[in-house]
């Protein structure tokens, strides 16, 4: 639901700020890729602030997956849907800015001593937590899947192909779109 607030109202910019500051804080929490924060974005945008419906959230994410570009861009699409062009840019900037500053600062430090112990601690130590977070994101994303047997089948196919091979995910996305179109015609 695109906001009906006029761009010159204080509420409009308050909404922009609310989105921007949410994504600023989430930026520090994106360990293992932005995808690990997807459940939290759902909690904030859908459950807590009612800025998007569950269906909107899921379809916007799916649209971004079907379009080229870094995965992170779904954030801009959420912003666009909620409050137009400024929000699209602010959400993307918000989720990238703090982590970028952090990474550049670390890059400077790491250049002095590439084998430093603290670097190894971070690199190996975070892995288990990241795995848990990614599986959690997959579970949250899978919620609408259980409605249709063909979606369950597709998901199963994607899980096994990813797990067993290094095949390009794009082929699976195309198969998913085609099968989805076919099932909607048959229904």
Partner 1 sequence: MTISLKQLFVEFMKMGLSGFGGVLPFARHALVERTGWMSEKEFTESLAIGQAMPGPNIVNVSLMFGYRRRGLWGALAAVSGLLLPPMLALLVFYFFYRQFEHYPVVRGMLQGVLAVSAGLMLGSGLKMAKSLLRSGEKLLHAVILALAAYVGIVVLGMPLAILLAVLLPVTLLWAMRHEK
CB 87 within 8 A of CB 3: no
Binders of partner 1 among residues 65 to 84 (CB under 8 A) are 65-73, 76-77, 80
Q: How many residues bind partner 1 (CB under 8 A)?
A: 104
Q: What one-character-per-residue DSSP string does 103-157 give? A: HHHHHHHHHH-TT-HHHHHHHHHTHHHHHHHHHHHHHHHTGGGGG-HHHHHHHHH
Q: Does 16 bind partner 1 (CB under 8 A)?
A: no
DSSP state of 37: G
Q: Does 142 bind partner 1 (CB under 8 A)?
A: yes
Q: What is the CB neighbour count within 10 angstroms for residue 38?
A: 21
**Residue whose token pair is 């909107």:** 56
Nearest approach, Cβ of residue 156 and partner 1 (Å)? 7
Nearest approach, Cβ of residue 30 and partner 1 (Å)? 5
**Residue whose token pair is 């800025």:** 51
Q: Does 27 bind partner 1 (CB under 8 A)?
A: yes
Report which of 87, 25, 22, 29 is spatially closest to residue 60, judged by C-alpha positions: 87
Q: Which residue in 46, 49, 86, 145 binds partner 1 (CB under 8 A)?
A: 145
Helical ranges in 34-116 per DSSP H? 38-42, 54-65, 74-112
Q: Does 46 bind partner 1 (CB under 8 A)?
A: no
Q: Which residue in 45, 52, 90, 95 binds partner 1 (CB under 8 A)?
A: 95
Binding mask 152-181 for partner 1 (x = CB under 8 A): x-xxxxxxxxxx----xxx-xx-xxxxxxx
Stretch that binds partner 1, among 4-12, 13-21, 95-103 (CB under 8 A): 95-103
**Residue count of the chain:** 187
Binders of partner 1 among residues 117 to 136 (CB under 8 A) are 117, 119-136
Q: Which residue in 9, 28, 109, 113 binds partner 1 (CB under 8 A)?
A: 28
Q: Does 144 bind partner 1 (CB under 8 A)?
A: yes
């Amino acid at each position: 639901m695109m906001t009906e607030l006029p761009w010159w109202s204080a509420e409009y910019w308050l909404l922009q700020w609310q989105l921007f500051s949410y994504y600023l804080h989430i930026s520090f929490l994106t360990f293992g890729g932005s995808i690990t924060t997807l459940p939290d974005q759902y909690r904030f945008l859908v459950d807590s602030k009612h800025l998007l419906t569950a269906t909107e959230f899921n379809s916007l994410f799916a649209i971004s997956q079907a379009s080229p570009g870094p995965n992170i861009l779904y954030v801009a699409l959420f912003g666009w849907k909620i409050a137009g062009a400024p929000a699209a840019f602010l959400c993307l900037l918000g989720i990238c800015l703090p982590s970028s500053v952090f990474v550049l600062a670390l890059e400077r430090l790491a250049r002095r001593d590439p084998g430093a112990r603290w670097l190894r601690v971070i690199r190996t130590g975070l892995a288990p937590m990241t795995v848990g977070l990614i599986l959690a994101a997959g579970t949250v994303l899978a919620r609408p899947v259980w409605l249709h047997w063909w979606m369950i089948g597709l998901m199963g196919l994607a899980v096994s192909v990813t797990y067993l091979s290094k095949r390009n995910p794009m082929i699976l996305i195309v198969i998913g779109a085609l099968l989805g179109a076919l099932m909607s015609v048959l229904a």
